[in-house]
Chain A
Amino acid sequence: MLMRFYQSSRHILIHVFLLWLISTPLQAALDIEIFGGGTTQIPIAIVPFAGEEKLKQGITAVVAADLQRSGLFRLVDSSGPVLRDPRQIVYPDWKNRGAAALVIGSTVTLPDGQVEVSFYLMDVAKQVQLADYTMIVPADRLRAAAHQIADIIYERLTGDVGVFSTRIAYVVKQGNKYALQVADADGFNAQSIIEYSEPIISPAWSPDGTQIAYVSFENKKPIVYVQTLATRARKAVANFKGSNSAPAWSPDGKKLAVVLSLQGGSQIFLVNADGSGLQRFSQSSGIDTEPNFSPDGQSIIFTSDRGGSPQIYRMPVTGTASGTAERLTFEGSYNVSPHYSRDGKSFTFIHRSGARFNVAVQDLATRQVQLLTDSRFDESPSPAPNDKMILYATEVKGRGILAVVSSDGKTRQELSMQAGDIREPAWGPLLKVR
Chain B
Amino acid sequence: MKKVISVLLIGLLSACASQTTQPTAVEDKSAAQAAAAAAAVANPNLNPILRDPNNILSKRSVYYDYDSFVVKNEYRPLVQAHAQYLRDNAGARVLLQGNADERGSREYNLALGQKRADSVKNALTLSGAKDSQIEAVSLGEEKPRATGHDEASWAENRRTDIRYQGE
Contacts and interface: CB of A to CB of B under 8 A. Distances in A.
Contact of B104 (A279, A334, A423): A334
Nearest to B31: A220
Given A176-B28, A221-B137, A202 B107 contact: yes
A201 B10 CA distance: 26
Contacts of B97: 220-221
B112 interface: yes
A241 B10 contact: no
A219 B28 contact: no
A336 B10 CA distance: 31
A289 B137 contact: no
A287 B149 contact: no
B105 A337 contact: yes
Interface in B12-34: 13, 16-17, 19-20, 22-23, 26-28
B32 to A, nearest CB: 14
B5 A280 contact: yes
Contact of B95 (A198, A221, A262): A221
Contacts of A337: 105, 107-108
The listed residue with most A CB atoms (<10 A of its CB), out of B5, B17, B105, B163, is: B105
Contacts, number: 137
Interface stretch (A69-77, A86-94, A264-272): A264-272
A201 B107 contact: yes
Nearest to B132: A241
A424 B7 CA distance: 31
A271 to B, nearest CB: 10
B142 A201 contact: yes
Interface string A325-365: 00000000010110000000000001010000100000000
A261 interface: yes
A278 B42 CA distance: 41
A393 B47 CA distance: 45
A278 B8 contact: yes
A249 interface: no
A146 to B, nearest CB: 33
A261 B16 CA distance: 12
Q: Is the interface of B mostly helix, strand, loop or mixed?
A: mixed
Contacts of B103: 357
A222 B149 contact: no
Given A261-B114, A262-B13, A398-B149, A287 B7 contact: no
B135 interface: yes
A241 B8 contact: no
A242 B143 contact: no
B110 A243 contact: yes
The listed residue with most B CB atoms (<10 A of its CB), out of A217, A219, A320, A350, is: A217
Given A176-B28, A199-B142, A221-B97, A303 B108 contact: yes
The listed residue with most B CB atoms (<10 A of its CB), out of A198, A270, A286, is: A198
B118 interface: yes
B107 A245 contact: yes
A280 B6 contact: yes
A290 B107 contact: yes
Interface string A407-431: 0000000000000000110000000
B6 A270 contact: yes
A245 B110 CA distance: 8
Contact of B137 (A242, A265, A281): A242
Contact of A320 (B3, B20, B140, B163): B3
Contacts of B20: 239, 241
A261 B98 CA distance: 12
A262 B115 contact: no
Given A287-B112, A337-B105, A222 B16 contact: no
Contacts of B110: 201, 222, 243, 245-246, 259, 266, 289
A220 B149 contact: no
A391 to B, nearest CB: 16
Interface string B133-156: 001111110110000010000000
Given A266-B115, A424-B106, 12 more contacts: A220-B137, A240-B17, A242-B135, A243-B138, A279-B6, A283-B5, A289-B110, A289-B111, A352-B104, A357-B104, A379-B106, A380-B105
6 contacts: A241-B16, A261-B136, A266-B115, A323-B3, A350-B105, A380-B106
Ranked nearest first, the 9 interchain pairs of A and B with the lowest CB-CB distance are A279-B6, A197-B28, A221-B137, A199-B142, A266-B111, A241-B16, A336-B105, A287-B111, A243-B138
Interface of B: 2-3, 5-10, 13, 16-17, 19-20, 22-23, 26-28, 95, 97, 103-108, 110-112, 114-115, 118, 135-140, 142-143, 149, 163
